Chain A
Amino acid sequence: MRGGVRGRGGPRMGRGGYKMKTFVPRLPFDIYLCEPAFQRAKPAPDETPLQQALLKRNTDLSPSPTEQTAVLNLVTKIATVLDTLIVTPGSFDACQIEEHRQVGSYKKGTMRTNHNVADVVVILKTLPTREAVEALGNQVTEELRQQEPADVLVMAMLPNDRGFEISNSEATVRVLVTTVHQNLRKLDPELHLDQKILQSHLAAIRHSRWFEENAHHSSIKVLIRLLRDLKNRFEGFEPLSPWMLDLLAHYAVMNNPSRQAMSVHQAYRRCLQLLAAGLFLPGSAGIADPCEGGNIRVHTAMTLEQQDQVCLTAQTLLRALSHGGYKQVIGLEGNASIATDMTVWEGIVVSPLEKAYEKPPERKEGEPGDELADDDDMDMADN
């Protein structure tokens, strides 16, 4: 009787009006979201030097017009070749192309200088075998050579069978191969490219679409470029994927009570603060992936150890930044050792942090393997 009255799994259950609560990961402390609680007790410091430094760094990082043109040219040529292959399916029989799209930093406008790589995702109608990818690569290269025999083109297969890349002297286009959704289930790991990689390429398309719609603000783009540079310079940030950085930058710039884009230097500091406060730690709500269903938190793609590493690097850098080490953090001076060695800023000793993550004891079977599911249940596993 009671069971019937109470219902099952319904939102209202139990005596005393106990509300059903599922495990909701919490967002970490973010001072920008609770500014009213922290009125300024002292005047805000002058942030102009930081701002100037960031803008300078951004200028340094942005690709020159020549570079942009070079990449654009190569991308356009390859796109033309791929289009031809799509409209005349009979001419090339190793595979059939469904469509191709530009993705990644080139598409998003967050390219960095000296990294003239544009990404193009090619969706195959056929199943993506390694042979097909190679044949496609050769075909595209062949046609490019026919168009402009003067160009020195190099075709190389990408590691992990992601696809192939075609580079000339100035630019590189990576052609990432994937297949249509319905084919994903038919894949045979022995013959075809890795399903995870294929899915990641499909996700890349969604990401660039999302980016176009949501993250077109230049502050975000500048911030992404700076963060990528940060990631490249500090080893501890290695696990952060470009997509995580995109989302983090978007979050830092846009997610504030006023919903107005924050200035780059604030957002830059905020990124470090968020990471330091454990935005990408287990138990944190992190950032939900807008391109995946089911509320997937982006940082769960990292292993627990990586999450620890990212967090501690951010924490050390934040302290260095706060004590006046902005030039080193931004990369105008010094090197990456500030994240790992003890440093002295204006008489204050900033010491690096130790790792907190420990390999779980053996009683938890198979836990280190599936990091994705792991941290979600961190709180639950003991219960």
Chain B
Amino acid sequence: MAANNYFGFTHGGTQYGAAAAAAAGAAAYQATPAAGYAAVGHTPAAAATYAAQRATTAYEAAAAYQPAAATSYAATASSAPTYDYSYTRVQTYDNAAKTAAFYPQPTSTSFSAAADPAFQAKSSTTYTAGYQNAAARPAGQASKTYNYPAAGAAQSYTYPNQAAAAATANKNYSGYDAALYNAATLYVQQQAHTAPKGAGTWKASRPGVGAAIGQKPKLKQPPKPQQLHYCDVCKISCAGPQTYREHLEGQKHKKKESAQKQTAGTTPNAPRGGNSLRCELCDVTCTGSDAYAAHIRGAKHQKVVKLHTKLGKPIPSTEPVVVPGKSTTTTAKTGAAATTAVTKTTEVTKVVATPKINFVGGTKLTTTTPTASAAAAGTAVKEEPKEAAAAAAAPAAATAAAPAVARDDTVAVAAAALGEKEVEPVGQEYIEEIKNEEGKVVSFNCKLCECRFNDPNAKEMHMKGRRHRLQYKKKVNPELIVEVKPSLRQRKLQEEKLRRQQMREEMWRRREESAMDDEERIYWEERRRYEEEMEYFEWCRRGAGRGMPPFGPMGPMGPRFGPIPPMLRRPDSADDRHVMAKHSEIYPKDEELNAIQKIVSNSEKALKMVSDDIAEADAPKKDDGTATESKDEDGKELPRTLKGVMRVGVLAKGLLLQGDADVQLVVLCAEKPTRTLLERVANLMPKHLATVTPDEKYALKLSVEQASLIITNQTEPQINVTVTLTSPLMRDGAADEPTASKDPPDVLDKQKCLEALAALRHAKWFQARASGVQSCVIVIRIMRELCQRVPTWTPLNTWALELLVERVVASAGFPLAPGDALRRVLEAIASGLLLPGTPGLIDPCEKEPVDTLSGLTAQEREDITASAQHALRLMAFRQVHKILGMDALPPPKFNRGKFNRKRRRDNSCSGENGDSEGGDGKKDKKEDESEAAKADAK
């Protein structure tokens, strides 16, 4: 129905349009169709439906559109309508009934254009959107230069009038109209089957268009008959008519001829991309300025020049004609062109664009295949409206834009060509000359590009060449600028390069990020340490547990066997582990410690009783049986003869080693100890020892020269307790004249007594200083063992060693791990601390500055130093076990690898229960403990 309506309407419209010359008469059907037509004319969707409804061909759609557009002129230019109608009508009346369908349209559109401002606006927007920007310039140009010389009817298009309308829209229209006008004429011509004549007129207009926009095409002179038989196509001369004919029939000529026809107007052999230079004369396209130069120098070109000079033909300048790549693509594959639509439109573009170039084939086109090209162009144009409907006059825009593009291209090309000419040859020093036996240069070898060539010219060209330059850039000077070649392969390479670079950057970035990874690693490292620490504390605790029970109340000289002061750091280095392992090896066993403790405490108790006895025995002499206690309370009494007993030496310092069987006690006496006193004590001792421990047998030995008595037990771990009698008076004696004068005749050996006193001081000093220093006691034990084991070190006495180790370790200024502490001691000795010329080791327990090391001979010092130096290096190179006289420990087996740890942490992170981590930790700790126990057991 709708279709019918349309038909009916249009038909009616035809009549109406035919009758009515003015737009005002359209009022009758103004109501409905206005919108409809507006839509049909200008919105692609509506156009499509319209076309579908009418089941028209593309032609019709186009045709329907054309007049509509054409009539818009009529609408704007009030003087035009007459022409318009007459023109279209006259042309189309001859046509099939179909064409009649759009006759009404002009009227309707003219009415709508005139009466409906909405439509106006709409149409203008569509156009402007389409090509206002792109086409503004060319359109403007066109409005100035366009003339329609051939299409006589078209002259009734009054442009001035149009220009009187809105400025921008006008311009746009003009550009668009130009296309439309072409299309219209073509269509009409086609429809009217006025091919020969119409084509003639049209073809006249074609070059006109081209000329109007671009330069004057360079037209080849038609070949004149010559004496010389000259073939214009091949640009050669033939010796005679015979050869000339043969040439003309020859394959080569035919090929060239057809090629020329094919290329129809544009330059042949346009390169795929990029720019090239063309020798007009020889019709040769060169890819670069060097190639062009080579061509110009070449024999062939010279020959042609000569020939042309002879013929008196114009010789184009040797200036190369720059051929921009894209815009020179062949325009007319005329025959085939008729079928494709989209390419056709672009072809039109090309044709318009080409004037930028020397447009050679203009005439050729017309002469060779007028009809075909006309048809082609016709189709193109016919399709154009379709396109226009679809893309709002895109082709026109493209058409208009093309020259601009082309111009830009040309400029770019010119610039490129200019740049290329400026290229300096680079890297001459990398080109080797290869000489033959006679010393003549036969060829060249480019070391950068690894290629060879024989020609000096080639060498020159090579040095300017892209490949060489790229190599040079890559290998010699990265700042050399090598223009980018847009070839596909190059681009691929470029991309590849870019990608690689990105990857490299990525890698760098990652490396930076690895700082983060480090943090991670450190975290786990710390965690592990922490766990080991716990393990170590556990170890210490155990050590304490199985260690000796505390001794009796022994005043300030309390035993120091107990645990090593809590460590700040778990021994985690290999050195630490070895030192700790060695330490636990040399640490006395429980039974030894128990035995020592037993005999020492028994001796102490017995001595106490002896002291009581002696005091009691002495007291009656003076006070006649008064109780000792009362005298003590009085305080007037002389102190008891045996004032007290104290532990000294390794016992007091807690430096006992496994196998140590000698411990020292010192009994301080009120007066200078005499032989009599010593014998008295020795006589009293067995009785009291028996009372203290009835079931233990102790042997007692008196050693007057040692100023001591030695108590030895009878059971297996034989322990000797040396009890030395001494008195502070022995020291003061020298200064105190009256006391000295009172010296009993049998006083004990002074030197021994002084040594005992010194031992007492050393024990005090040790407790005050050394035992508080981190790792100090461990290292002293280790060193003591070393001194016992290695003869070289034996001369170093215990006191000197303690002092040395304490000084060295304490001077570090911060707590050291056992391994580090041992190493530092070795370092100190290695750096010559014992050698002559060094400050020596001052004894803090003597009033006078005394060098503790004075007992060492120079050779002993030297030997110890040498030994320490070697030991230090052994330690640095992970052979601490050699110093310690033990087997290298296998690396600890951590059954928690990174993964394990990670998993555990993840668990804790999951936050199911806060205790999970602690629980895990505990469990691990226990496991470690049991492992450690196993290791210990071994």
Q: Which residue of A lies closest to B837 (CB)?
A: A45
Verify if A322 is at the interface (C-beta below 8 Å from B): yes
Tell me the complex Cα distance, A41–B803, Å: 13
Indicate if the CB atoms of B526 and A315 lie closer than 8 Å: no
Q: Which residue of A lies closest to B477 (CB)?
A: A126
How many residues belonging to B are interface residues under a CB distance threshold of 8 Å? 83
Verify if A188 is at the interface (C-beta below 8 Å from B): yes
Tell me the complex Cα distance, A210–B529, Å: 39
Determine the chain A residues whose CB is within 8 A of the CB of B840 once the complex forms. 40-42
8 A Cβ contacts from B308-367 to A: none
Q: Which of A18, A26, A135, A281 contacts B820 (CB 8 A)?
A: A26
Verify if A283 is at the interface (C-beta below 8 Å from B): yes
Indicate if the CB atoms of B811 and A34 lie closer than 8 Å: yes
Determine the chain B residues whose CB is within 8 A of the CB of A127 once the complex forms. 475-478
Verify if A140 is at the interface (C-beta below 8 Å from B): no
Verify if A208 is at the interface (C-beta below 8 Å from B): no
Verify if B429 is at the interface (C-beta below 8 Å from A): yes
User: From residue A341, how far is it (CB to closest CB) to chain B in Å?
Assistant: 14
Indicate if the CB atoms of B827 and A356 lie closer than 8 Å: no
Q: Which of A9, A30, A31, A42 contacts B520 (CB 8 A)?
A: A9
8 A Cβ contacts from A318-368 to B: 318-319, 322-323, 346-351, 353-358
Verify if B891 is at the interface (C-beta below 8 Å from A): yes
Q: Which of B830, B841, B917 contacts A276 (CB 8 A)?
A: B830
Of the 9-residue stretches B580-588, B661-669, B858-866, which lies at the interface with chain A? Answer: B858-866
Verify if B223 is at the interface (C-beta below 8 Å from A): no
Q: Which residue of A lies closest to B518 (CB)?
A: A9
8 A Cβ contacts from A228-260 to B: none
Determine the chain A residues whose CB is within 8 A of the CB of B873 once the complex forms. 278, 281, 308, 311-312, 353, 355-357
Determine the chain B residues whose CB is within 8 A of the CB of A2 once the complex forms. 908, 911, 914, 917
Indicate if the CB atoms of A13 and B811 lie closer than 8 Å: no
Determine the chain A residues whose CB is within 8 A of the CB of B836 once the complex forms. 45, 322-323
Determine the chain B residues whose CB is within 8 A of the CB of A281 once the complex forms. 872-873, 876
Indicate if the CB atoms of B831 and A318 lie closer than 8 Å: yes
Indicate if the CB atoms of A38 and B831 lie closer than 8 Å: no
Verify if A60 is at the interface (C-beta below 8 Å from B): no
Indicate if the CB atoms of B879 and A356 lie closer than 8 Å: yes
Verify if B713 is at the interface (C-beta below 8 Å from A): no
Tell me the complex Cα distance, A273–B839, Å: 14
Tell me the complex Cα distance, A20–B835, Å: 39
User: From residue A303, how far is it (CB to closest CB) to chain B in Å?
Assistant: 12
Of the 9-residue stretches A78-86, A91-99, A144-152, which lies at the interface with chain B? Answer: A91-99
Of the 9-residue stretches A66-74, A109-117, A166-174, A375-383, which lies at the interface with chain B? Answer: A375-383
Determine the chain A residues whose CB is within 8 A of the CB of B842 once the complex forms. 38-41
Indicate if the CB atoms of A276 and B832 lie closer than 8 Å: yes
Of the 9-residue stretches B116-124, B570-578, B600-608, which lies at the interface with chain A? Answer: B570-578
Q: A282-B877, A382-B574 are in contact. Are A277 and B872 (CB under 8 A)?
A: yes
Verify if B808 is at the interface (C-beta below 8 Å from A): yes
Query: Which of A126, A304, A351, A356 has the most chain B CB atoms inside 10 A of its CB?
Result: A356
Q: Which of A318, A355, A383 contacts B891 (CB 8 A)?
A: A383
Q: Which of A131, A191, A278, A353 contacts B866 (CB 8 A)?
A: A353
Tell me the complex Cα distance, A355–B874, Å: 9
Determine the chain A residues whose CB is within 8 A of the CB of B808 once the complex forms. 29, 37
Query: Which of B573, B838, B892, B894 has the most chain A CB atoms inside 10 A of its CB?
Result: B838
Verify if B7 is at the interface (C-beta below 8 Å from A): no
Q: A21-B569, A127-B477 are in contact. Are A378 and B878 (CB under 8 A)?
A: yes
Q: Which residue of B lies closest to A352 (CB)?
A: B866
Q: Which residue of B lies closest to A127 (CB)?
A: B476
Verify if A153 is at the interface (C-beta below 8 Å from B): no
Q: Which of B830, B874, B911 contacts A1 (CB 8 A)?
A: B911
Indicate if the CB atoms of A186 and B522 lie closer than 8 Å: no
Determine the chain A residues whose CB is within 8 A of the CB of B527 once the complex forms. 14
Verify if A3 is at the interface (C-beta below 8 Å from B): yes
Determine the chain A residues whose CB is within 8 A of the CB of B911 once the complex forms. 1-3
Tell me the complex Cα distance, A192–B812, Å: 49
Indicate if the CB atoms of A354 and B828 lie closer than 8 Å: no
Interface residues of B, dominant DSSP: helix
Verify if B870 is at the interface (C-beta below 8 Å from A): yes
Tell me the complex Cα distance, A30–B838, Å: 12
Query: Which of B429, B526, B876 has the most chain A CB atoms inside 10 A of its CB?
Result: B876
Tell me the complex Cα distance, A191–B476, Å: 9
Of the 9-residue stretches B148-156, B266-274, B743-751, B848-856, which lies at the interface with chain A? Answer: B848-856
8 A Cβ contacts from B809-828 to A: 810-813, 816, 820, 823-825, 827-828
Verify if A183 is at the interface (C-beta below 8 Å from B): yes
Indicate if the CB atoms of B429 and A135 lie closer than 8 Å: yes
Tell me the complex Cα distance, A26–B573, Å: 13
Q: Which of B523, B572, B830 contacts A383 (CB 8 A)?
A: B572
Indicate if the CB atoms of A21 and B526 lie closer than 8 Å: yes
Q: Which residue of B lies closest to A363 (CB)?
A: B891
Q: A2-B908, A31-B838, A273-B832 are in contact. Are A283 and B876 (CB under 8 A)?
A: yes
Determine the chain B residues whose CB is within 8 A of the CB of A3 once the complex forms. 905, 908-909, 911
Determine the chain A residues whose CB is within 8 A of the CB of B853 once the complex forms. 41
Verify if A48 is at the interface (C-beta below 8 Å from B): no
Verify if B428 is at the interface (C-beta below 8 Å from A): yes
Tell me the complex Cα distance, A359–B477, Å: 44
Indicate if the CB atoms of B832 and A353 lie closer than 8 Å: no
Verify if B778 is at the interface (C-beta below 8 Å from A): no
Indicate if the CB atoms of B519 and A9 lie closer than 8 Å: yes
Q: Which residue of A lies closest to B426 (CB)?
A: A93
Verify if B87 is at the interface (C-beta below 8 Å from A): no
Q: Which residue of A lies closest to B424 (CB)?
A: A93
Verify if B205 is at the interface (C-beta below 8 Å from A): no
Q: A93-B426, A127-B476 are in contact. Are A319 and B865 (CB under 8 A)?
A: yes
Tell me the complex Cα distance, A227–B304, Å: 82
Indicate if the CB atoms of A31 and B831 lie closer than 8 Å: yes
Verify if B430 is at the interface (C-beta below 8 Å from A): yes
Indicate if the CB atoms of B892 and A382 lie closer than 8 Å: yes
Q: Which of B569, B843, B877 contacts A358 (CB 8 A)?
A: B877
Q: A3-B909, A126-B479, A278-B876 are in contact. Are A37 and B523 (CB under 8 A)?
A: no
Determine the chain B residues whose CB is within 8 A of the CB of A283 once the complex forms. 823, 876
Tell me the complex Cα distance, A347–B862, Å: 11
Tell me the complex Cα distance, A19–B644, Å: 46
Verify if B807 is at the interface (C-beta below 8 Å from A): yes
Verify if B833 is at the interface (C-beta below 8 Å from A): yes
Tell me the complex Cα distance, A93–B843, Å: 75
User: From residue A319, how far is it (CB to closest CB) to chain B in Å?
Assistant: 6
Determine the chain A residues whose CB is within 8 A of the CB of B843 once the complex forms. 41
Tell me the complex Cα distance, A14–B840, Å: 44
User: From residue A172, how far is it (CB to closest CB) to chain B in Å?
Assistant: 25
Tell me the complex Cα distance, A30–B812, Å: 9
Verify if A22 is at the interface (C-beta below 8 Å from B): yes
Indicate if the CB atoms of A95 and B477 lie closer than 8 Å: yes
Determine the chain B residues whose CB is within 8 A of the CB of A358 once the complex forms. 877, 879
| New A-B contacts (17) at CB < 8 Å, excluding given A3-B911, A34-B811 | A8-B523, A28-B824, A28-B831, A31-B838, A38-B833, A39-B839, A40-B842, A126-B478, A126-B479, A273-B832, A277-B830, A278-B876, A283-B823, A315-B830, A323-B862, A358-B877, A378-B574
- List 7 A-B residue pairs with CB atoms under 8 Å apart, sorted by A's residue number: A21-B526, A38-B811, A38-B838, A45-B837, A277-B828, A281-B876, A382-B891
A positions within 8 Å CB-CB of B: 1-4, 8-9, 13-15, 18, 20-22, 26, 28-31, 34, 36-42, 44-45, 93-96, 125-127, 129, 131-132, 135, 183, 185-186, 188, 191-192, 273-274, 276-278, 281-284, 304, 307-308, 311-312, 315, 318-319, 322-323, 346-351, 353-358, 378-380, 382-383
B positions within 8 Å CB-CB of A: 426, 428-430, 447, 474-479, 504, 519-520, 522-523, 525-530, 533, 569, 572-575, 577, 807-808, 810-813, 816, 820, 823-825, 827-828, 830-833, 835-843, 849-853, 858-859, 862, 865-866, 869-870, 872-874, 876-879, 891-892, 894, 905, 908-909, 911, 914, 917
Q: 5 smallest A-B Cβ distances: which pairs?
A: A41-B840, A356-B873, A34-B811, A41-B851, A277-B831
